[in-house]
């Protein structure tokens, strides 16, 4: 038993899990508002990270400026995507919408490879100190910052949904579009806004992961990791997404511990979340906080 | 010249779903300040008519005029902003949300503070605006006597209260014209009396014009200023309640052909 490693992995799990939670939240946001299962969520991270990388290296912008420009770009990106691709699909069968988002995923995956190449590229160093020690554990500075950012985003979401005009309108739309319209809420605008926010928030996660691991198409794997997280939490629950993300992050790292200490299979790290996914679907198909009557696809 | 310019006019409205004729050539007008009821047997097209006014359906033919403006092609959310609020036949509250949040959604189009300015909440602007809205919402809550449930999730309330919350939400839109689709369905006598009082008050004290669908004839006759009767999607009568009830077409629609037999008997008395 290597306790130090266990602690280290637990901390990693929390940090990565919080990031999963953030991506899962942005996935749930789209699902809740517009009932679209977005298979291109991972590509949002990818596009965001590449665009930020491009601002920082080709344009030599300072990090904060490049980051802000990235967020601005992603806002427009999300809006355009919704208006051009998803809006014409309103009222079409669920399967068509899913195929469209899968298509979007493949398209952006390929587009990014075409523009930026197939090899991982590192971000220029952003923090003066690479690693800090927290209670004897080595933690990358960017991870600590990312944990902070994740928490900020979560608090932001909580504020948005409970206290802001648009958050309230979004919840109302999620519940019943006809009724929301009768109260003066513009449903197309709510849809567009949900895509924009989702793209921005995913891009933040993409940049954080990019800073740690370098930017490459592997980033879009986060989009797949989101599924165990949101299905554990319940497809339409924002709180569930956060908890689901953290649980999946921890599970991954504990599986890694188990593997490295005893099993030596070598791949538990990647597979464990999907074992969990299968179990959840068997035992609690609507997740921890999900609405019972949502349609499964 | 208020009399001459109705707040709402349906102008030869027809609505078809494929081969089904829901409404055929229906015209009527609602005067400012009225309580106006649409009555008729089941399936007469009453709710279809209200949906044409609220924008949920678009008439196949004809026009809807609101304050003289043609709104036939205006979307439902824009109509809410123009001043048309509504409640639904089957309760349509946002069940997970608190009563207060339900009502605040009705304020959506009135809250000018956008997303970015909302973030600067504490720096002014938004705060005073929010306070003004809170005050108006509180007035509505007081009026409908739902203070005690304001924080409760709307889905947990008993039926009668939910009906009131839905009315509060529609009032929060600050409509000039409020559409009530069966406001008293499923209520007991006492609840009906309360609801009738609220409707009269919101008409007289809050100055809202009311367009209402209701099956309870007693209530309709008591509080409506004027009534239009639909049957099989056609307008068969319009006028003051007592005029309409005396109309032979209406009697036939409600009582069937046996009407003919009872009429001579009445004349004898």
The end-to-end CA distance of chain B, in Å, is: 43
B68: Cβ contacts below 8 Å, ≥ 6 apart: B5
CA B249 to chain centre: 25
Domain annotation covers residue A231: no
Q: HEC string of chain B?
A: CCCCCCCEEEEEEEEEECCEEEEEEEEEEECCCCEEEEECCCCCCHHHHHHHHHCCCCCCEEEEEECCEECCCCCHHHHHHHCEEECCCCCCCCCCCEHHHHHHHHCHHHCCCCHHHHHCHHHCCHHHHHHHHHHHHHHHHHHCCCHHHCCCEHHHCCHHHHHHHHHHHHHHCCCCEEEEECCCCCCCHHHHHHHHHHHHHHHHCCCCEEEEECCCHHHHHHHCCEEEEEECCEEEEEECHHHHHHCHHHHHHHHCCCHHHHHHHHHHC
Which spans in chain A are helix H? 3-34, 41-57, 63-81, 94-116, 141-163, 165-175, 177-182, 187-213, 221-233, 238-258, 268-283
pLDDT over 60 at B120, yes or no: no
Q: Which residues of A touch B75 (CB under 8 A)?
A: 181, 186
Residue B63 is predicted with a pLDDT of: 93
Residue B36: phi and psi, rounded to 5, are -120, 125
- Mean pLDDT, rounded, for A126-132: 77
Query: Residue B135's CB: how many other CB atoms inside 10 A?
Result: 9
Task: Look over chain A and give the mean of its residue pLDDT values, rounded to a whole number.
Answer: 87
Lowest mean pLDDT segment, chosen from A64-73, A137-146, A244-253 = A137-146
- Mean pLDDT, rounded, for A279-292: 77
Residue B105 sits at the chain A interface (C-beta within 8 Å): yes
A175 and B95: CB-CB below 8 Å? yes
Domain annotation covers residue A287: no
- Mean pLDDT, rounded, for B203-219: 91
The more confidently predicted of residues B62 and A161 is B62
B75 and A166: CB-CB below 8 Å? no
Domain annotation covers residue A47: yes
For residue A118, give the DSSP letter. Answer: S
Residue B257 is predicted with a pLDDT of: 58
**Spatial separation of the C-alpha atoms in residues A97 and B183, rounded to whole Å:** 38
In three-state secondary structure terms, A104 is helix
**Spatial separation of the C-alpha atoms in residues B130 and B113, rounded to whole Å:** 9
B108 and A187: CB-CB below 8 Å? no
pLDDT over 70 at B58, yes or no: yes
Domain annotation covers residue A295: no
Domain annotation covers residue A228: no
Residue A165 is predicted with a pLDDT of: 84
Q: Which domains does chain B have, with CATH numbers?
A: 1-83+175-269 (3.40.50.300), 94-173 (no CATH)
Residue from A252, A14, A4, A284 nearest A151 by CA: A14
Pair B217, B38: CB distance under 8 Å? no
Say what percent of chain B tops pLDDT 70: 86
Domain annotation covers residue A286: no
Please return the burial class of B58, using the count of CB atoms within 10 Å of its CB with bins 0-12, 13-18 and 19+: middle
Domain annotation covers residue A289: no
Residue B1 is predicted with a pLDDT of: 40
**Residue A292 pLDDT level (bands cut at 50, 70, 90):** low
Domain annotation covers residue A72: yes
Residue B258 is predicted with a pLDDT of: 52
Residue reference for tokens 């891009």: A203
Residue A68 sits at the chain B interface (C-beta within 8 Å): no
Burial A212-249, CB ≥16 within 10 A → b, else e: bebbbbebbebbebbbbbbbbbbbbbbbbbbbbbbbbb
In three-state secondary structure terms, A282 is helix
Query: Residue A8's CB: how many other CB atoms inside 10 A?
Result: 17
Residue from B185, B237, B175, B236 nearest B211 by CA: B175
**Spatial separation of the C-alpha atoms in residues B110 and B82, rounded to whole Å:** 11
Out of A162, A169, A175, name the one closest to residue B108 (CB). Answer: A169
* Portion 61-80 of B in contact with A at CB < 8 A: 75-77, 80
Residue from B129, B161, B166 nearest B147 by CA: B161
Residue A231 is predicted with a pLDDT of: 86
Condensed to tens digits (0 to 9), the pLDDT of residues A142-155 reads: 888 888 988 999 89
H helix or E strand, kind and range, residue A140: strand A137-140
Q: Specify which residues B37 forms β-bridges with.
A: B212, B227
Pair A180, A172: CB distance under 8 Å? yes
**Spatial separation of the C-alpha atoms in residues A131 and A144, rounded to whole Å:** 9
pLDDT over 70 at A203, yes or no: yes
Residue B120 sits at the chain A interface (C-beta within 8 Å): no
Residue B155 sits at the chain A interface (C-beta within 8 Å): no
Residue A172 sits at the chain B interface (C-beta within 8 Å): yes
Condensed to tens digits (0 to 9), the pLDDT of residues A170-201 reads: 989 988 888 999 999 999 999 999 999 999 99
The end-to-end CA distance of chain A, in Å, is: 42
Residue from A29, A77, A30, A44 nearest A222 by CA: A44
pLDDT over 70 at B101, yes or no: yes
- ipTM field: 0.82
Pair A39, A272: CB distance under 8 Å? no
**Residue A157 pLDDT level (bands cut at 50, 70, 90):** confident
Residue from A252, A178, A207 nearest A70 by CA: A207
Domain count across chain A: 1
pLDDT over 50 at B269, yes or no: no
**Range of the structural domain that residue A182 is part of:** 14-217
Residue B106 sits at the chain A interface (C-beta within 8 Å): yes
Lowest mean pLDDT segment, chosen from A39-48, A49-58, B2-11 = B2-11
Record the pTM: 0.83
Angular region, A5: left φ>0, alpha ψ -120 to 50, beta rest: alpha
For residue A294, give the DSSP letter. Answer: P
Q: Which chain A residue has the Cα nearest residue B118?
A: A164
Residue from B24, B22, B4 nearest B13 by CA: B24
**Spatial separation of the C-alpha atoms in residues A88 and A92, rounded to whole Å:** 9
């Amino acid at each position: 038993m290597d306790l130090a490693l266990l602690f280290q992995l637990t901390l990693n799990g929390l940090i990565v899990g919080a990031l999963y939670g953030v991506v899962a939240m942005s996935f749930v946001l789209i699902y809740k508002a517009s009932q679209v299962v977005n298979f291109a969520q991972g590509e949002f991270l990818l596009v965001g990270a590449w665009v930020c990388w491009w601002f920082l290296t080709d344009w030599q912008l300072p990090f904060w400026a490049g980051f802000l420009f990235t967020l601005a770009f992603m806002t427009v990106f999300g809006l355009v995507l919704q208006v051009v691709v998803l809006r014409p699909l309103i009222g079409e069968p669920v399967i068509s919408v899913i195929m469209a988002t899968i298509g979007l995923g493949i398209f952006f995956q390929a587009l990014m490879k075409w523009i930026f190449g197939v090899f991982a590229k590192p971000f220029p160093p952003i923090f003066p100190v690479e690693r800090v020690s927290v209670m004897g554990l080595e933690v990358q500075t960017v991870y600590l910052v990312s944990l902070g950012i994740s928490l900020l985003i979560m608090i932001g979401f909580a504020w948005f949904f409970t206290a802001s005009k648009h958050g309230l309108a979004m919840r109302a739309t999620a519940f019943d579009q006809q009724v929301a319209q009768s109260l003066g809420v513009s449903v197309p605008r709510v849809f567009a806004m949900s895509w924009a926010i989702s793209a921005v928030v995913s891009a933040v996660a993409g940049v954080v992961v990019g800073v740690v691991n370098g930017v490459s198409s592997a980033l879009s794997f986060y989009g797949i990791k989101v599924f165990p997280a949101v299905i554990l939490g319940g497809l339409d629950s924002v709180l569930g997404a956060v908890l689901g993300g953290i649980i999946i992050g921890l599970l991954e790292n504990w599986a890694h511990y188990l593997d490295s200490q005893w099993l030596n299979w070598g791949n538990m790290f990647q597979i464990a979340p999907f074992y969990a996914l299968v179990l959840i679907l068997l035992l609690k198909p609507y997740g921890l906080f999900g609405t019972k009557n949502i349609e499964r696809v | 010249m208020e009399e001459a310019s109705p707040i709402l006019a349906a102008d030869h409205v027809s609505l078809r779903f494929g081969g089904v004729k829901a409404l055929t050539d229906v015209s009527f007008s609602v005067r400012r300040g009225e309580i106006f009821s649409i009555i008729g047997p089941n399936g007469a097209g009453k709710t279809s008519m209200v949906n044409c006014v609220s924008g949920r359906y678009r008439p196949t033919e004809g026009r809807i005029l609101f304050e003289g403006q043609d709104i036939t092609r205006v979307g439902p959310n824009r109509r809410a902003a123009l001043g048309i609020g509504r409640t639904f036949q089957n309760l349509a509250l946002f069940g997970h949300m608190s009563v207060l949040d339900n009502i605040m959604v009705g304020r959506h189009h009135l809250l000018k503070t956008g997303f970015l300015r909302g973030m600067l909440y504490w720096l002014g602007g938004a705060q005073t605006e929010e306070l003004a809205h809170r005050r108006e919402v509180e007035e509505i809550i007081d009026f409908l006597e739902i203070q005690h449930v304001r924080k409760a999730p709307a889905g947990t309330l008993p039926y009668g209260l939910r009906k009131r919350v839905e009315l509060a939400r529609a009032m929060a839109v600050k409509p000039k014209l409020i559409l009530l689709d069966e406001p008293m369905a499923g209520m007991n006598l006492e609840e009906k009396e309360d609801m009738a009082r609220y409707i009269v008050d919101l008409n007289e004290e809050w100055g809202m014009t009311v367009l209402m669908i209701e099956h309870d004839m007693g209530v309709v006759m008591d509080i409506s200023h004027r009534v239009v009767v639909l049957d099989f999607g056609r307008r068969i009568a319009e006028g003051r309640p007592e005029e309409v009830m005396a109309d032979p077409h209406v009697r036939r629609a409600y009582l069937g052909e046996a009407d003919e037999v009872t009429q001579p008997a009445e004349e004898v008395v």
